[in-house]
Amino acid sequence: MSAGEEDGMRPFVIAAIIASLTVPAFAAEDPAKAEEYKAEEQKKKEADEIERAYKNVVKGTTREQPVKKSDPWGSVR
């Protein structure tokens, strides 16, 4: 990922964190909302797992090719 893409994702990540922090406060008031909170937490865990897997795949595919040593006098010798 380039730095520009990470900067573009930052507001969404911050919004998701804030939303996840406010959900438990609402869930404490109503037992029905507690089930929603559990479902939300499960979705968040799954999204985190998917994100980690994606980053591992991207990290594995962006390996640089080995640099060949150049010998400008190789054909002369």
pLDDT digits (tens, 9 = 90+) for 3-58: 555 667 788 888 888 877 776 665 556 677 777 888 899 999 999 999 999 888 88
> CA angle, corner 56, sides to 51 and 61, nearest 5?
125
pLDDT at position 71: 78
Higher-confidence residue: 67 or 19?
19
| Spatial distance between the Cα atoms of 24 and 37, rounded to a whole number of angstroms | 7
* CA–CA distance, 20 with 8 (Å, rounded to integer): 20
Q: How far is CA 5 from CA 2, 11, 16, 42, 47, in A?
A: 5, 11, 17, 26, 18
Please tell me the predicted confidence (pLDDT) of residue 17. Answer: 83
For residue 24, the model assigns a pLDDT of: 63
